[in-house]
Amino acid sequence: MPVSEFDLIDRYFRRQAAQRDDVVLGIGDDAAVMQVPADRQLVVAMDTLVAGRHFPPQTAAFDIGWKALAVNLSDLAAMGARPAWATLSLTVPAVDEDWLEGFATGFFQLAGQYQVALVGGDTTRGPLSVTVQVHGLVENGKALRRAGARAGQRLFITGTLGDAACALQALRAGHSVAPDRLRRLNRPEPRVDFGLALAGSGAAVIDISDGLLADLGHLLDASQCGATLWIDRLPCAPGPGPAMEPGMLDCQLQGGDDYELCFSLDAGQVGTLSRFARELQLPITEIGVIEAQTGIRCRHEDGRLYTPSGTGFDHFREVVNDQGRPA
Amino acid sequence: MPVSEFDLIDRYFRRQAAQRDDVVLGIGDDAAVMQVPADRQLVVAMDTLVAGRHFPPQTAAFDIGWKALAVNLSDLAAMGARPAWATLSLTVPAVDEDWLEGFATGFFQLAGQYQVALVGGDTTRGPLSVTVQVHGLVENGKALRRAGARAGQRLFITGTLGDAACALQALRAGHSVAPDRLRRLNRPEPRVDFGLALAGSGAAVIDISDGLLADLGHLLDASQCGATLWIDRLPCAPGPGPAMEPGMLDCQLQGGDDYELCFSLDAGQVGTLSRFARELQLPITEIGVIEAQTGIRCRHEDGRLYTPSGTGFDHFREVVNDQGRPA
């Protein structure tokens, strides 16, 4: 007898990573019911991962489950919101129980880290695709935005840039990838705690999913200003570094899939946030300065301009491999 | 120059069907921010439509946009919740501007009927698939559930059953379909207003998406009871009727895609709800009775048992055409 949709839901997705008093009615009815505290606003983000577009087809089920939630939690982090609930729509080509077990394990492992309850969703059959919506809570009026950066503010980034894109390029070219670098591609760590620390600071914030240039561009557009970016200061994981690794700088500027937070701060706020980052053992790096002139100017330390080869990941452009051909 | 994801979002999805004061921050940031009133609970439902599985590939873009929202609003109706906001994740194989315009027009036309604001989502490229999440509001503690039906209660259905499934069968067999019947398949009308009238009544409610037998089965499972269903009373649209149309009864019992509300009522509640249904010009029909004995017994008026050929739409079963072969 074939496994029915409802058996699947029961078997893999009814487990709960988090018991939350604010879930009035979870999975199993026509919809879920939740209680939002009177002093909180609701923050929602929805992202879809399509096989072969947002992750290589050979990606492990655990990693797909983790990443589908992580990219959404990263959006909540960029708003300074505390994660609360998730819904999941999973489309799979066939019922593969090992795959479902792996996927659910990855999803719930990350959900448990942030006390996220899965409250509903949908499962259906079709080409592999995962849509997650996350719901977070933020104190009234304290949500972070892309808008609000002002000329003279200092520009920062959490963590490091470029590893995920380099890993993806190497995989596409059939090369081996170091485990640490592969982990950055497959199991991004959303910067939720740092986002919570930023909440209410008035910082302009965005998460880097489509590449630093593209996403910083959105922040600057929303803020109606520009920036100079010091490209020699872009943080990268321990290793040979951009000077020694061809293509690394492009990955840092345009690669995407970093899920770091890029944010602007007044000089007076830097000390507090730096201390908090140290407590979290999450480095933050000053990578530029906000300017009134629109556009992004990439400069070396000696002031020379650098012209990037592109602007970032576009969900509708052909994905090309490192030979420049469609992947 | 190819159209970028962001251009697309701007062009087709930034229009607003509803201006809502409770949307603090809509489309265009990392996430949306909304204000939930202190005396309301949040109700969320998410459903995905996959091309070729949930709608025929030739379905008009307008209808896909309409239906993707309608099936979700139907879930809110079954909870007695008032629709408020939606998020949309749209995966399309290519950028077809006529298609996008049609899709957006259908989506926003229905959104406007219920003052639903589109607050966020995702667009990406891949096999055609639409995921919508709707967010509704309900007075604290008044959400309707599948659970709570009790032996002796009367069982009702809104509207009519079977037209959508009959239309789908005819399309698959290459037959022509009357416009009214096709409309039931492609532009279902969620029973939002009637659901609001039911809210707080304590009625057990479910919406009929996967077929009456399957969905009534869920209501009865949640309520830990059973029912007798009078199959000769199942309401159908004007036309030859089940007695004259081979297969119609199966469509009514197992076809799905009806998006009517099935609910149980105490005898004392029937008058009020019937009056409200008349005001809405939405017929409601008594189709059975809740019983302590679990299971569903289908009976003719003369008491003879009827044995259905199956139980309803299963998202993981092969879709078969009317010759019983995989479609």
- A19 vs B161: CA distance, rounded Å: 39
Q: Number of folded domains in chain B?
A: 2
ipTM > 0.85 for the complex: yes
pLDDT band at A3; cut points 50, 70, 90: low
Residue A88 belongs to a domain: yes
Sequence letter at residue A5? E
Say yes or no for a CB contact (<8 Å) between A138 and B36: no
pLDDT score for A238: 84
- Could you tell me if B32 and B107 lie in one domain? yes
**Residues in B 273-312 with any Cβ partner in A closer than 8 A:** none
Nearest to B42 by CA among B143, B123, B116, B121: B143
- Could you tell me if A11 and A112 lie in one domain? yes
Average pLDDT value for residue range B2-7: 60
- Could you tell me if A286 and A159 lie in one domain? yes
**Residues in B 19-38 with any Cβ partner in A closer than 8 A:** 24-25, 28-36, 38
pLDDT band at B244; cut points 50, 70, 90: confident
pLDDT higher at A317 or B263 = B263
Domain boundary among A109, A139, A169: A139
The mean pLDDT value of chain A amounts to: 90
- Could you tell me if A19 and A122 lie in one domain? yes
The pTM of the whole model exceeds 0.90: yes
pLDDT at B324 over 50: no
Residue A253 belongs to a domain: yes
Helices (H), chain B: 5-8, 61-79, 97-113, 163-172, 179-186, 192-198, 212-223, 248-250, 270-279
pLDDT at B6 over 80: no
pLDDT score for A5: 61
Residue A14 belongs to a domain: yes
- Could you tell me if A160 and A295 lie in one domain? yes
List, for residues A132-168, the tens digit of each pLDDT value.
Answer: 999 999 999 999 999 999 999 999 999 999 999 999 9
Say yes or no for a CB contact (<8 Å) between B87 and A205: no
Residues of B in contact with A256 (CB under 8 A): none
CA distance to partner chain A, nearest, from residue B292 (Å): 21
Say yes or no for a CB contact (<8 Å) between A32 and B24: no
pLDDT band at B61; cut points 50, 70, 90: very high
Residue A309 belongs to a domain: no
Residues of A in contact with B3 (CB under 8 A): 316
- Could you tell me if B124 and B13 lie in one domain? yes
> Which DSSP symbol is given to A3?
P
pLDDT score for B5: 61
* Residue B121, domain extent: 5-139
List, for residues A15-42, the tens digit of each pLDDT value.
Answer: 777 789 999 999 989 999 999 999 999 9
List, for residues A79-126, the tens digit of each pLDDT value.
Answer: 999 999 999 999 999 888 899 999 999 999 999 999 999 999 999 989
Q: Kind of pairing, strands B226-230 and B295-299?
A: parallel
Say yes or no for a CB contact (<8 Å) between B131 and A48: yes
Sign of the alpha-carbon torsion through A210, A212, A215, A217: negative
- For the ranges A7-11, A235-239, B54-58, which has the lowest average pLDDT? A7-11
Domain boundary among B110, B139, B168: B139
What residue of B is the nearest CA neighbor of A96? B316
Sequence letter at residue B36? V
Task: Read off the CATH number of the domain in which A12 is found.
Answer: 3.30.1330.10
